[in-house]
Structure 1
Amino acid sequence: MSNTYAAQKGANLNLTDEELLTFYGILLTTGYNSVPRRRFLWSGDNDVNNTSIKDAMRRNRFDEIMASIHVVDNMKITDDPFFKVRPVFEELNKVNKTMTIQEYLAVDEMMIEYFGRHGCKQFIRGKPIRFDLWSLASSSGFVYQMEPNAGSHTRLVETGLGQGPSVVLGLAEKAGVPPGYKFYHDNLFTTLTLVDEMTKRGYGSCGTLRENRLFDIPLTPSKIFRKTSRGNGEFLIEDGKLIVRWNDNSVVTVVTNMENKYSDFDTQRWNKQKHAMDKVKQPTCIKSYNTHMGGVDLHDQCVNLYRIGIRSKKWWWPCYSWALNSAMVNAWCYYRSCKEGDRDLLSFQRLVAQSLLQRHGMRPQGHGRRSVLASAICEAARFDNMNHWPHNTGRKYMRCRKCDGRTSFACEKCGVALHVECFKKFHVNQ
């Protein structure tokens, strides 16, 4: 598709698989070794020098690929707002579905950082305005299914139960989750009808519940229940659902179909007045929710740790680079759980990036142009009258900086080719 896009612009890109993998390696390298300007990656200056990237691909070639990188044919545009990056998410979902699904699953939204203008930016109170992804992940952070939130164009089954239940049931259906697995979701998704539907489909369901979704459930109102002592709880069992209200830092309500009776255990909370830990009762279903709910947030956090540092003015580039980082985090989770590896994410990403550069990169033949900073440093030391000595380099075809003739001599300090006759003239400030 990149070659097709370049041809549509009248250019001849001739991008190969080897170059594309090298391109990915460079992008991943910028996640943990970033510079203020991407051209510094190819600089010969010691403070920003990156030999692995310089030896893998020319800077101008990288710029050509960056200008033409595409995953779709622009001549076959559709009404899908995520048309530009839809194949990337579809391919990731296809690969992720081949992995064994863990028993405990979390449903939540993930954010892709984007501050430009686009119709699919979602507003969620208390969160930055960014692209939103509905995600299904294990409690260890492996994402099995992701779906961009595109409003009416979101490709999830409409159940008629509302947006939250449609997202949970749609992700479970697309990921092919068999009955018997347990889902955890926050109050954005949880409704009593969702728990009933999950019970019918053979899924376990547990989630926090908003006050305005309780309807006629006879629980103490939150404003009154907040005035009770910390650790106080009440519960109600109705139609196979356990509904628990508990007073902690604030009042929280949880509904689940995975417990037939109420149970709790002792836990500790900090008491500001006593400056000591207090022993309070915590419901078991809330402990289970806290243990297994954070998988999506964990994946999102890992993606942002070593996010690709190269930017673009194209609106879809944040989605494209985010997907590459997400694939890296999923590969790391697979490596740790299935391969029983002990590398952290940074070491794993460095290993993958450098392997791509070394295996698929092509070492340039020339040395490139001398950097402006190197020239400025040489000029600053040129007239200091300290330790400038001529020496024979043994090379026959260097050009004298002063007269442009051939010479084998150079200044030992400046590193500039000079005839012995031109040596004094070059170092005297006239």
Structure 2
Amino acid sequence: MVRPYLIIRPVQQLSTQLFYGKRATVVPAHPSISDDEGSEEEDDDVADPDFLPPTHNLDTPGPSDIGPSAKRKCVQPALEVLEEDDDDDDDDDDGEPAPQAKRQTKKEKPAARLTTWRKADLDNPALPEYQHCPPDFIDTPFQYFSRYFSPQIIKHITYQTNLYATQKNINTTFTTTEDEMMNFVAILMYMGIAELPAVEDYWAMETRVPQVANLMSSKRFRLMKRLVLFNDNTQIPGTIDRFFKVQPLFSHLNAVFRSEPQTPKQSVDEVMVAYKGKTAGNLRQYIKNKPDKWGFKLFARASEDGFIHDMVLYQGKNTLEAHGVPLTPEQTAMGVTSQIVSVLASTMSSSTTTAIFADNFFTSLEIVRYLKDKNCRYTGTARDNRIGRPPLKIIKEMENKAVPRGTYDYVTIDDGILALRWKDNRIVTLLSTDMGAEPISSVHRYCSETKRKEQVSCPAVIKSYNANMGGIDKSDMLVHLYRTPMKSKRWYMRLFAYSVDVSLTNAWVFYRRDCKAIGLEVGLSLKIFRIQVFKEASSQRPVTSHPRRSSAFPGSLSTSVDIPTPVRGHCSHNPESSVRFDMSLFHAPVYTNR
């Protein structure tokens, strides 16, 4: 028996390229830098024992061949990196990769731009100060209000209300006039100042408000509130705009708001119009950090003094399409929030002398570059997955207690974009094309260890952001001071009330500009200004009404019954409860010989 022998022959050494899949390479910043840096996956150290090499020539690499293995020494580039595909939608802060199915459905973006960071600061000239043109005289408060909530709006609402009453055929005798519609709006204004628990309380005997009750009867007010409309319902099937019912109001307000002078510092932020009803479906949004957490979301742009110049009603992914806003190919390739900022910035009167301030919901490297190409400056806080990974100090290292508060680090792109990271109570990251880190000033912060306020170093761009970001918040504060109460099953009535409030606050802000321009130090407060608008708006011939009793108060006789008033279409009425149930007279019919 011949025993087999194992014959060992020298063979040609196999290339390690055969055991690894093909990887995308990145062109290094310098030839000495390894080109396999940046791969997040590690190659296996042990090859598959069942691997069968291909039959093609080993000296000629095939389509699946790859360069050096993962064990080759890598050098990380210090200042030159490739910009990532930043996602402007609601990304997770931990930077976890998206599922494979989501990556395939995501829209393609243009090729990444080479980003070179360097240790340098911005040195841009300061923007010109806003100079308001002084008027010849100060108009009346109602004239300021009529600039925005103009007679054209009253005429439009009156026409649509009469049309709606005819279509519904609820009350064939109903018809209203422009004077009556102005009285209806004036009542809503005064209700924002003298707010009562229920609308009926303005006419009740115990809580009667003459300014409201003498202007319109309770029955007429409720009927007007039930029938007022702002657009033709028969045109709804041909539109994709979910805010079709109130779109004419906001289209008109946007047109007149944009025509007013704008300050060089503009802020972009979200506005919440409070609404807790459920008839609006998913148009109702939730933002936990807002005073009104539930409501309709608007994207707005405002001046630093609180004057809102532009608004976009949010209604989902097709927000801009529903508003009929044309987008350029460059805007289409951007994320949703970047598109919103670019659209709001496109309506500014002069972008070359304007700086926009926004929070981390809107800020990304792509919108900063887009606005810089339009010669518009931008400053905003940013999330780490939207800034292109600049070589700044790591957040975890800055969060260490050994690092003092006020520590900052910054770098600049060659095209003039500053990325800065500053330690306050939390780590703050900003992108800016407006101001740099210098000069360094100081701010006072409370220290929990020493139980007193201490001075903390603050870069100039941080101070500029804090001073100019509050335009939208100031407008919200003014609206909430005397907000028009509007409880209705029709969800769009809350937006109608907001349109009245924002017209009043914008009118007051512009009135204060005029007062300051002519040197008038003391002007009307917002409450007195609103009362004056109410008085002039309700100067038409009032409709007299009598007080009514309400069962909500002790001593009332029965449920509330309207006193007869000369209302159109009212043919008969019931006697008062005090007469019907007095038990002292016989109320049977009396027959006579006449």
- TM-score (norm. length: structure 2): 0.61
Q: Give 1:373 shift.
A: 7.2
Q: Summarize the alignment of residues 329-344 of structure 1 with structure 2, pairs less than 5 Å apart.
A: 329-340=505-516, 342-344=523-525
1:246 maps onto 2:411 in alignment = no
Range with greater deviation from structure 2 (240-249 or 213-222): 213-222
Across the aligned residues of Structure 1 and Structure 2, the Cα RMSD in angstroms comes to 2.4
Aligned to 2:225: 66
Whether 1:320 and 2:496 are equivalent positions in the alignment is: yes
- Per-residue Cα deviation, 1:383-424 (whole angstroms, up to 9, x for no partner): xxxxxxxxxxxxxxxx9x78679xxxxxxxxxxxxxxxxxxx
Report Cα offsets for 1:87-146 as digits up to 9, x if no partner: 111111111122111111000000011122322223446552421100000111000000
Amino acid of the structure 1 residue aligned with 2:451: H
Are residues 236 and 375 of structure 1, via their aligned partners in 2, closer, same or farther at CA, if it must alter by over 3 Å?
closer
Distance (whole Å) between structure 2 residues aligned to residue 288 and residue 377 of structure 1:
60
Where 1:91 maps in the other structure, the secondary structure is: helix
**1:173-322 correspondence to structure 2 within 5 Å:** 173-227=346-400, 228-238=403-413, 239-259=415-435, 262-322=438-498
Check conservation: 1:242, 1:262, Cα contact below 8 A.
no
Find out whether 1:362 has 2:523 as its counterpart.
no
Does structure 1 retain, via aligned residues, the 8 Å contact 2:188–2:485? yes
Letter of the structure 2 residue corresponding to residue 235 of structure 1: Y
> CA offsets per residue over residues 351-409 of structure 1, 9 Å max, x none?
2123322x135132x63655557993699xxxxxxxxxxxxxxxxxxx9x78679xxxx
Contact (CA 8 Å) 1:184, 1:293: kept in 2 or not? yes
| 1:121–1:402 distance in 2 versus 1, CA, 3 Å | closer
The secondary structure found in structure 2 opposite 1:31 is helix
Percent same amino acid at aligned positions? 29
CA contact 2:419–2:429 (8 Å) conserved in 1: yes
Which structure carries more strand by proportion?
A: 1
Tell whether the 8 Å contact from 2:365 to 2:388 is kept in structure 1 after alignment. Answer: no
Letter in 2 for 1:54: A
Deviation at 1:73, TM superposition (A): 0.7
Q: CA deviation at 1:233?
A: 0.7
Q: How many residues align?
A: 382
* Secondary structure at 1:151 match in 2: coil
* 1:35 and 2:196 correspond: yes
Shift in CA distance, 256/172, structure 1 to aligned 2, threshold 3 Å? same
- CA gap 1:96/1:126 in 2 versus in 1, 3 angstroms: closer
The CA distance in 2 between the partners of 1:328 and 1:284, in whole Å, is 35
The match for 1:141 is 306
Deviation at 1:300, TM superposition (A): 1.2
Deviation string 1:212-253 (CA, Å, 9 cap, x unpaired) is 112331112212112221011111111201111100000001
State the secondary structure of the residue aligned to 2:276: coil
What stretches of structure 2 of length at least 5 have no aligned partner?
1-159, 517-521, 559-578, 587-594
Q: Distance in 1 between matches of 2:553 and 2:283?
A: 46
Q: In the TM superposition, what is the alpha-carbon distance from 1:278 to its structure 2 partner?
A: 1.5
Which residue does the alignment assign to 1:151?
316
Q: Which residue of the partner structure matches residue 421 of structure 1?
A: none
Question: Quick one: structure 1 residues 236 and 361, their matched pair in 2 at CA, closer, same or farther if it must change by over 3 Å?
Answer: farther
Match of 1:57 among 216, 235, 239: 216
Distance 1:361 1:178, change over 3 A: farther
Tell me the secondary structure at the aligned position of residue 5 of structure 1. Answer: helix
In 2: Cα distance, 1:267 partner to 1:368 partner? 58
Deviation of residue 350 (structure 1)? 2.0
Structure 1 residues 13 and 250, CA, compared in 2 at 3 Å: closer, same or farther? Answer: same
Instruction: Label 1:185 to 1:361 Cα distance change in 2 as closer, same or farther (>3 A).
Output: farther
1:163-183 deviation line (CA, Å, top 9, x unaligned) = 222111101213444422111
Amino acid at match of 1:207: G
Q: Distance in 2 between matches of 1:368 and 1:129?
A: 36
Change (3 A) 1:57 1:244: same
User: Could you tell me how far 1:75 is from its partner in structure 2?
Assistant: 0.8
Structure 1 gaps of 5+ residues are 380-398, 406-430
Task: Check conservation: 2:203, 2:548, Cα contact below 8 A.
Answer: no
Asked whether 1:20 is paired with 2:181, we answer yes
Q: Distance in 2 between matches of 1:112 and 1:81?
A: 16
Q: By how many angstroms is 1:307 displaced?
A: 1.1
Question: For 1:114 and 1:108, how far apart are their aligned partners in 2?
Answer: 19
Q: Does the alignment pair 1:6 with 2:171? A: no
For residues 318-353 of structure 1, the C-alpha deviation after alignment (integer angstroms, 9 at most, x for no partner) is 111111111111111111112346222222222212
Structure 1 pair 361/226, CA: closer, same or farther in 2 (3 Å)? Answer: farther
Query: Quick one: distance in 2 between partners of 1:260 and 1:300?
Result: 30
More off after superposition, 12-21 vs 229-238: 12-21
Relative to structure 1, is the Cα distance of residues 177 and 147 closer, same or farther in structure 2, using a 3 angstrom cutoff?
Answer: farther
Question: Residue 363 of structure 1 aligns to which amino acid in structure 2?
Answer: V
Q: Could you tell me how far apart the structure 1 residues matched to 2:348 and 2:438 are? A: 32
Match of 2:96 in 1: none
Q: Check the 8 A contact 2:485/2:497 in 1, yes or no.
A: no
Q: Which whole-Å CA distance do the structure 2 matches of 1:333 and 1:34 have between them?
A: 23
1:25–1:356 contact (8 Å) kept in structure 2? yes
Does the aligned pair in 2 maintain the 1:265–1:284 contact within 8 Å?
yes
Q: CA deviation at 1:260?
A: 5.5
User: Which has more radius of gyration?
Assistant: 2
User: Equivalent residue for 2:36?
Assistant: none
Question: 2:549, 2:557 within 8 Å by CA — same for their partners in 1?
Answer: no
Deviations 1:235-288 (A, max 9, x none): 111120111110000000111111366431122222221122222210000000
1:88 aligns with 2:249: yes
Give the match's secondary structure for 1:30: helix
Match of 2:555 in 1: 376
Taking a change above 3 Å as real, the CA distance of residues 43 and 355 of structure 1, as seen in their structure-2 partners, is: farther
